[in-house]
Structure 1
Amino acid sequence: MGSAKASGQVLEAGASDPKPTFAPQEKYGSFERKVVLERLIWYLGYSPQEGFSCSQRASRSFVIPIMAKLETIVAEFRARLEKNRCDDGLSLQNFPSGACGDASILLAHHLAENGFGTYRYICGRHGDASHVWLSDGEVIIDITADQFDDFNHPVFIAAASPWHDALKGEDQHEATLSVWGSNWEARYLATYEALVGGSDNEVGQ
């Protein structure tokens, strides 16, 4: 799937080549936003008998805007990656195909830059293929799963996902630019700056 770097290998920090790519299993309906909001509202302490307290109602008023902001930021970043045509030394040229590892690292950095904290790099397998997505332990974020024929969501944000469960993903490490050493960090930073800080021409438009 793509270059040798995107052939399903997971390198140790500091290694100079490959990382993961990934596979699928079944189609989804449009329940993702509902699941996320219901899960977050439950965390806020909603009681079917008593409803929300005043403080909980105030908290709930922030949940939906925050989730909307998250969806917007992730979707806009995906759109940037779709336009990217830079020869950046990563695996993004055929995005989303073979790009899950690098795209997830870059997205995690972007989310941190926008105040959404840190995410973990989750790697799962199906057969002889692999796939990477992000999770903070509560929410799954995946912007490359639609490279597979049996997954049709370009931007997937949910509290639960049978498709991802089937891949038996394992938490590899924090999704950070420096995870594979300084050489990879420099490549990631250059690509991130071109994607987010540069002009449209720099991302290949």
Structure 2
Amino acid sequence: MKRLTLTQLKNICLSIRESIELNKSKTNLFKEFPQGCCRDASLIVGIILKKMGAIELVYCRRDFDLHYKSHAWLEYNSFIIDITADQFDTTIPNVIVSRTPIMPFHQKQHEEPLTFSIAGMDAIDLLKDMEIIEGALSPKFSS
């Protein structure tokens, strides 16, 4: 079982974020990225990280309440991994990989093992988008 380091996680997440930003016009689910894309972005990041050996990923989410909109992110080896947090505030880093919650909305209410079934009815579109995004990744990060 391979453990990815903080530096490796950040570099991989930055590369995925860049690939999404450069290719969002070609996708079905990421046209408004990062707005409203936290679930799908988390799934893509998680699937790519799993291919790289990070199998202990947990999908986390917080539901809408009076203080925060709903949000989703990943946790791995006690790291919070979030490539869409800046959708709420542009002063937030666009890629978060941290052992400490940077934002209050990272106080999870729900967690579950990372599986593709989380995508629900969007699974086919997500698979198509993932091919585009993963295909555009730097060769050192593609599986």
Instruction: Tell me what 1:106 maps to.
Output: 44
Please report how far the alpha carbon of residue 185 of structure 1 lies from its aligned counterpart in structure 2 after TM superposition. Answer: 3.0
Please report how far the alpha carbon of residue 144 of structure 1 lies from its aligned counterpart in structure 2 after TM superposition. Answer: 0.5
Identity of aligned residues (%): 27
Closer, same or farther: CA 150–93 of 1 in aligned 2, 3 Å: closer
Q: How do residues 155-194 of structure 1 correspond to structure 2 at under 5 angstroms?
A: 155-161=95-101, 163-164=103-104, 168-181=107-120, 183-194=121-132
Greater than 4 Å deviation, 4+ residue runs: none
Please report how far the alpha carbon of residue 87 of structure 1 lies from its aligned counterpart in structure 2 after TM superposition. Answer: 4.1
Cα offsets for 1:18-67 (capped at 9, x unmatched)? xxxxxxxxxxxxxxxxxxxxxxxxxxxxxxxxxxxxxxxxxxxxx8x832
Matched AA of 1:141: I
Instruction: Tell me what 1:122 maps to.
Output: 60
Matched AA of 2:110: D
The alignment yields a C-alpha RMSD, in angstroms, of: 2.5
For residues 78 and 106 of structure 2, what CA distance do their matches in structure 1 show?
Answer: 17
The normalised TM-score by structure 1 is 0.56
Gaps of 5+ in 2: 138-143
Task: Name the count of aligned residue pairs.
Answer: 132
For residues 196 and 98 of structure 1, what CA distance do their matches in structure 2 show?
Answer: 20
Please report how far the alpha carbon of residue 126 of structure 1 lies from its aligned counterpart in structure 2 after TM superposition. Answer: 4.6
Closer, same or farther: CA 167–67 of 1 in aligned 2, 3 Å: closer
- The answer on whether the counterparts of 1:106 and 1:177 sit within 8 Å (CA) in structure 2 is no
Closer, same or farther: CA 197–108 of 1 in aligned 2, 3 Å: same
Q: Which one of 69, 81, 100 corresponds to residue 141 of structure 1?
A: 81
Q: How do residues 9-158 of structure 1 correspond to structure 2 at under 5 angstroms?
A: 66-83=5-22, 84-88=24-28, 90=29, 92-124=30-62, 125-127=64-66, 129-136=69-76, 138-149=78-89, 151-158=91-98
- The answer on whether the counterparts of 2:61 and 2:72 sit within 8 Å (CA) in structure 1 is yes
For residues 36 and 110 of structure 2, what CA distance do their matches in structure 1 show?
Answer: 19
For residues 81 and 13 of structure 2, what CA distance do their matches in structure 1 show?
Answer: 9
- The answer on whether the counterparts of 2:119 and 2:126 sit within 8 Å (CA) in structure 1 is no
Closer, same or farther: CA 151–130 of 1 in aligned 2, 3 Å: farther
Matched AA of 2:135: G
Matched AA of 1:74: C
For residues 134 and 15 of structure 2, what CA distance do their matches in structure 1 show?
Answer: 10
- The answer on whether the counterparts of 2:56 and 2:77 sit within 8 Å (CA) in structure 1 is no
Instruction: Tell me what 1:196 maps to.
Output: 134
Aligned-partner SS, 1:188: helix
Matched AA of 1:79: E
Please report how far the alpha carbon of residue 118 of structure 1 lies from its aligned counterpart in structure 2 after TM superposition. Answer: 3.7
Closer, same or farther: CA 180–142 of 1 in aligned 2, 3 Å: closer
